[in-house]
Structures are given as structure tokens and as C-alpha cells.
Amino acid sequence: MAETESRLDELKGFAEDALKTAMQAGAEWCDVSCGRTADTSVDVENGSIKSVDLTSNRAFVVRAFVGGAQGVSSATGFAAEDLAAGARDAVAMARAAQPDPDFRSLPEPAALEEVDGLFDERIVAMTPAEAVEMAVRNIEGAREVDGDVIISGGVSLDATESAFASSTGIRLDKRSTSMEAAFFCIVRRGDDSGSFYEFDMGRMFEDVQPEVCGRIATEQALRFLGARKAATKPMSMVLGPLASFSFLRSLASSTNAESIQRRRSFMVGRLDTTVASPLVSITDDGLIPRGIFSGRADGEGAARKRVTLFENGVFTAMLHNAYTAGKADAPNTGHGGRTGGIRPTNLAVSLGEITAEEIIADTEEGIYINMGSVTPDAASGDISASVDFGFKIENGKLAYPVINTMVSGDIFEFLGNIDAISSDYREEPGNKLPTIRIRNVQVSGSQ
């Protein structure tokens, strides 16, 4: 523990020194982050341990503003003197860039809500041999389902320590961990093949079941044998938990205030209007304990806020960083990236009253998508996507797996046609992933 404190103190000292150097060099605003990351990963290929990798590095980012113009200097692998040079470099670039009158300020210090469960000493203490054992149990689990399964993937353990300092007086430090297992399994029967991907991830040891992904992926892969094209016609589309996860995250990303202010988003002019079915209510909550996207503060040191993005189908709020909040004279929601940009965190979706199984049973004809990226073009809102892992629904049942089949439409048609959200869900820490049905989606497959 003393060693950890000493390393954090060193990072805090680096951040403080770089901040001081940048301000002396003429920065009007500045923030600095310094971090140290250590990762262990066990890669599996061809049903065998391929390699065990251990990586570690220190990195810093200095961001300086002059007249609203931004200069960023960053480094991976550095000596103390490099930080001072980096700080001066950031200021020189901010001076060289053109002033931006829309920049108002960096975030001010504020009380931060504590978020538990983002660091687990047990993950830090795990040995590479233990990670290898976890990977081996995934291989064994997969082979118990299908002796000839082709399995690849791996187990990874990550630990980060970082310090943050800004010219407005924010001083932060944190330690965080994450653990992930992810495996892709292929089963073959002659010329036919089925495949599937399964993962589990979390910030705390007990939130991850790192030894079962191989088995689950293989069980699912078997279901995809014998796939064929679906017919070309409009029908219902049911997004399973993993498919709804990517769809809803792309929807949350569209509430990015920068994209809307810059007029490059299909959400321009839609605030406070109905954009979706009344079933759709989504809150971004980066403060959920143990959440995979949780944290007390965003990349700029601003306090994270809970934001209701959609309520009963109405687009109610945008996600902001310091720049967009200043430009709009709106509260900063604390969704800023380290050097700009805006990202959603954990999403809480209002659940429905019937189960996923009941939704499928209630669908006469449709496409069920287990996993895949059914997401809109960020500007036009057009959707044209492949059904990578899906089934044809006939008479309320998953009839057969589909291949070489696509779905398409427009984001607002899709949102307006949502007619069911399940009451049950898959849970990834901080995120409940329900099943969603969308009526009248164009499917393209066979003639």
C-alpha cells in the first residue's frame, strides 16, 4: 500500500509541476493528467494458449488554452524533464492555433459523488498463472460442449493509477481496475459452420464470471448451424440484449451536444420533441457503483451528472462537456473526454412489462438479432446493417438462423416503431440490457 501511495504521490507531483510550468509559459487555462497502466493478457488461439503478455507504461497529457485555442501535448514513456517540455509545447501550440471565442472555461472544482466498486485489489494481485487457468477453463468448457470447437479469445486484467490537476483548482487521483474475458467459438459440420462471441467484464472480481464464456459461446454457436437467408420484405425486428446495447449506445451518442451544435447530427432541432415511441425512457448514469463506464468525474475533471436523455419518447437533454456547456450557457453534465469529445456512460432503460420470451412469442413474423451493430449513420440517421447473428421468427418461435441478411430504415422510423421493451434483461455492471421489438423494418435477403 505504501508503494502504491508513493507512486500516486509521484504522479500527483508530475501533474502539479507540469501545470505550474504551463501556466508560467502563458497558458490561460490548463489541465494535466498523468497515469500509469499495467495490463496482463492471456491470448487464446486455435484452442491453445497463444501468448501471455505483460505491459506497463506511464503517460501524460497536458492541455493548454490561449484565447480559447487548444494545444495538447502527450507522451507515453517519459522522464520528469519531458513533462516540463511537454507543458511548454502545449502552450506553444495553443498560441499558434486560432482563438476560439466559444470557449468559456474549464470546469471549476465541485463536490464529487463517491462511486464505490471501481478498484479491486484482488484483480491487481492476480498472477499471470491464475489468468492462464481462467483461459484454460474456457477452452475446457467449450470442448465439453463440442469436442472440435475452434476457440479464440482471451482473459485480460487491467490496473490504472492516475492523477489530474487543472488551473481552476481541481485535484483528483484515482485507482481503477477492470477484468474481461471474451471468446469467439466456431463449430463446423461439413461445409456448414456456426459461430458466436461471448464476453463478461467488470471492475470488481465478483462481477465477472471469467470461466464460462467459452462454454456459452459454443452452445450459442451450435444454434447457428444450418443458416439461410430470410425473405426480402418488411417485418418486425427483435433486438436481443447485446444488439439492443449497441443500438441504445448509438442513440445515446447522438445526444452529444457538440455534434448538435456543429450541425452534423440527425438530432439537430429535435430537443424537446418526440423522437421515439412513448415506451422509450433512457437515463445516462455514470455514478452507478461498479458500473463499467462509471467514475466520479469526466476526463476534464467535471463532476458526473445523471441525465435523462429521453423520457416517454421525448428527447429531453443533451450530453455536454466544458466546451459545449460554455457555448450553450448550459450546465456541464460531466461527459467530456480527456482532450475533447463527449461520451455516454452507463445507460438505464425503462423496462416493460412482458419478458423477452413473451415478446418473441407475440411476434408472428420477424428477425431476431442476438448480436450486431444496428446503428444509424451519425448525420443522416439512415440504417443499413447486416444481421450478423440472428434468427428468423415464425409464428412466435425462433425458426432458423439467418445468413447474408440485412435490415434497413431510418432512425426515427425505428424509434417510433418500438412497441415492446422487455421486463427481463442481461446485466453488465451498471447497465441493464433489455430486449426490444421494432415493428415494420425492411429486411433484405433472398429474392
Joined grid coordinates for residue 114: 463517491
Q: Residue 127, exposed/middle/buried by CB under 10 A (0-12, 13-18, 19+)?
A: exposed
Q: Please, which residues have CB within 8 angstroms of residue 238's CB and are 6 or more apart in sequence?
A: 359, 360, 363, 366, 367, 368, 369, 393, 435, 436, 437, 438
Output DSSP code: residue 207.
Answer: G
User: Residue 93 interacts with other proteins (CB under 8 A)?
Assistant: yes
Residues 269-288 close enough to bind other proteins by CB under 8 A: none
CA distances from 307 to 282, 316, 318, 331 (A): 9, 9, 8, 11
Q: What's the min distance (Å) between Cβ of 112 and other proteins?
A: 28
Q: Select from 16-24, 74-82, 314-322, 329-337 the region that touches other proteins (CB under 8 A).
A: 74-82
Contacting range for other proteins; rule: CB under 8 A; set: 38-46, 113-121, 281-289, 346-354: 38-46
Among 7, 74, 249, 338, binds other proteins (CB under 8 A): 74
* Span from 186-194, 244-252, 309-317, 343-351 in contact with other proteins (CB under 8 A): 186-194
For the CB of residue 222, give the shortest distance to other proteins in the complex, in Å: 13
How far from 106 is each of 34, 263, 287, CA to CA, in Å? Answer: 18, 23, 21
For other proteins, the binding residue among 24, 377, 397, 427 (CB under 8 A) is: 377
CA distance linking residue 300 with residue 164, whole number of Å: 9
- How many angstroms separate the CA atoms of 265 and 254, rounded? 7
CA distances from 120 to 126, 175, 209, 368 (A): 10, 9, 15, 37
Total of chain residues touching other proteins, rule CB under 8 A: 84
96 is a contact residue toward other proteins (CB under 8 A): yes
Q: Quick one: which of 105, 274, 308, 339 contacts other proteins (CB under 8 A)?
A: 339
Q: Could you say which residues in the range 230-269 bind other proteins, by CB under 8 A? A: 232, 262-266, 268
Report the number of secondary-structure helices (H) and strands (E) in the chain. Answer: 10, 18
For the bound state, the minimum distance from the C-beta of residue 407 to other proteins, rounded and expressed in Å, comes to 7
With CB under 8 A as the contact rule, the residue among 71, 240, 301, 429 that binds other proteins is 71
Which is nearer to other proteins, 159 or 307 (by Cβ)?
159
Question: From residue 152 to residue 171, what is the string marking binding to other proteins with x (rule CB under 8 A)?
Answer: x-------------------
The residue (of 187 and 360) whose beta carbon lies closer to other proteins is 187
69 binds other proteins (CB under 8 A): yes
Stretch that binds other proteins, among 51-59, 357-365, 414-422, 425-433 (CB under 8 A): 51-59
Q: Tell me which residues in 130-149 interact with other proteins (CB under 8 A).
A: 132, 135-136
Helical packing angle, 80-96 and 2-24, nearest 10°: 40
Integer CA distances (angstroms), 445 to 76, 196, 376, in order: 48, 21, 20
Which residue lies nearer to other proteins by CB, 49 or 351? 49
Using CB under 8 A as the binding rule, whether residue 193 contacts other proteins is answered as yes
Tell me which stretch binds other proteins (CB under 8 A): 16-24, 26-34, 96-104, 291-299: 96-104
Interface residue with other proteins among 16, 20, 28, 50 (CB under 8 A) is 50
Tally of CB atoms within 10 A around 415:
22
Alpha-carbon 147 to chain mean position: 34
The Cα–Cα gap between 308 and 239 comes to: 22
> Which of 10, 17, 23, 52 touches other proteins (CB under 8 A)?
52
Does the footprint of other proteins cover residue 447 (CB under 8 A)? yes
In the 3-class helix/strand/coil scheme, how is 103-119 assigned residue by residue?
Answer: CCCCCCCCCCCCCCCCC
51 binding other proteins? (CB under 8 A): yes
Q: What is d(CA 107, CA 334) in angstroms, rounded to the nearest whole number?
A: 9
Applying CB under 8 A, among 7, 13, 26, 75 the residue interacting with other proteins is 75
The span from the CA of 38 to the CA of 48, in Å, is 24
The distance from CA 86 to its chain's CA centroid, rounded to whole angstroms, is 30
Give residues 417-446 in contact with other proteins (rule: CB under 8 A): 442-446
Please pick, from the candidates 7, 28, 49, 412, the single residue that binds other proteins as defined by CB under 8 A.
Answer: 49
Report if residue 229 touches other proteins, rule: CB under 8 A: yes
Query: Are the CB atoms for 351 and 425 separated by under 8 Å?
Result: yes
Residues 294-313 that bind other proteins (CB under 8 A): none
